[in-house]
Amino acid sequence: MDSKFFKLLLLGGAVRFYFCRTPLAPMIGNRVEFATPLNSHKRMQEGIFLLQNGIDPYQGDLVHESPLILSALSGLFQKYPHFLPIFYIILDVCTAALLYAMSLRFVKQKQEQQDVERKEYAKDTEELQFNPLDKFDIPELVIVAYLFNPLTVMSCIGMTSTVISNLFLAFFFYCLVKGLLLPCLLVLAFETVRSFYPIVLIAPLLLVFSRNSIRRGVAISVLFIVSCLLVAIANYFVLNSWNFLDGTLGFIFYFRDLQPNIGLFWYFFTEMFEHFRTMFLITFQLNATVLYLVPLSIKLRKEPLLLATVLVALMAVFRAYPSLGDVGFYLALLPLWKRCWKFMAHGFVVFTFFLVTLSMMGALWHLWIYAGSANANFYFGATLAFSTGQIFLITDLLFAHVKREFCLFNGQKILIDGEEARIVLK
């Protein structure tokens, strides 16, 4: 880690500190694109106040943060509220540092794997291979993509608990690449009990640590279940009640709050007939968790970190209460797959989707809620287009990876009947 790394961290922290002192910060904390019922700073404040006064925060339907987080942050919220922006900035900077360290280790591993496989590579594939400069370029791109992405910056200055989630996910990625099983299990169990959807990350964890051993995989799965139970018991001792399970996991699964967000749940559950609710709940939650898990795990069994990246991206699209902070996190992981960019064909389309839809969300929200000259269809249309752009990005990355793997071993120019062949997605 050189001086440039620390300069980037300081600059990223300075950018966040500057915007925390502007009127933009409280406005972002109230925007539905960033603050959801799960990560809202105001709801966390309310939960800490209730907990400090001996009232069960989960008796109502307002607080949905885990008791351990509420208890851990209660002293800071109650005694030093003026230092809260700095606290969130430090957490976000730590997330960037973990992603940088993870990237360094990842590039080193890919270069070692490449040295073993190079004899099998085709002759014209040098540009598809990791080169010595990548150990500097890729980690720098990752840290820049996280620290200076407007989505992560605004999520931080809005003091949403997505900052905490991003820190835990970054630590999970770091431990996954470093081969640290126990920390991986503990942080994944904590995030699973806290927000449900990270349970799908057990798949890349098993691919890394089971080493094609079914017995070892079963043992790790049992350890994960035990870790989840221990985290749940720790939450119980904070509250002396199991109400938090319904207030966190139950609230997410049953989707009780229909507040609009950038996701796909709220509009459907607002418009549909009540007797279809159970069917849609099961369908939407399956789509957000296990539907893509098995096929992606089979296809990406040799690339567990790419599998983890794709699963985090799919979580950001299909979870019940997504926010733009979740999107910013997985966008920072895309530079890891720099060697696939050559085959990504929809970059301009995705960029246009993101730019136009993110610009329209604020305007359409104002027209709907304040001006009264639009309705929910307008705002949902923008969020639906935004989700479509994310799906384009994820599928483009997956297909680019498949094409790169094929070209590495078969060459970039393949002739069939005297004409250059093309790999086409059907």
Give the start-to-end residue ranges of the domains of the chain. 3-420
Whether pLDDT at 425 is above 60: no
Q: What percent of the chain has pLDDT over 90?
A: 76
Query: Can you give the pLDDT at residue 171?
Result: 97
List phi, psi (to 5°) of 420.
-70, 130
375-391 pLDDT, tens digit each? 899 999 999 999 999 99
357-366 pLDDT, tens digit each? 999 998 999 9
Q: Which amino acid is at 4?
A: K
Mean pLDDT, rounded, for 286-302: 92
Q: Would you tell me how many other CB atoms lie within 10 Å of the CB of residue 222?
A: 10
Distance CA 185, CA 171 (A): 11
User: What is the pLDDT confidence band of residue 411, given thresholds at 50, 70 and 90?
Assistant: confident
Q: What would you measure as the largest C-alpha separation in the chain, in angstroms? A: 79
Whether pLDDT at 332 is above 80: yes
Residue 193 tokens, joined = 């009990």
pTM for this entry: 0.94
Query: Can you give the pLDDT at residue 423?
Result: 60
Whether pLDDT at 78 is above 70: yes
Query: Can you give the pLDDT at residue 12?
Result: 95
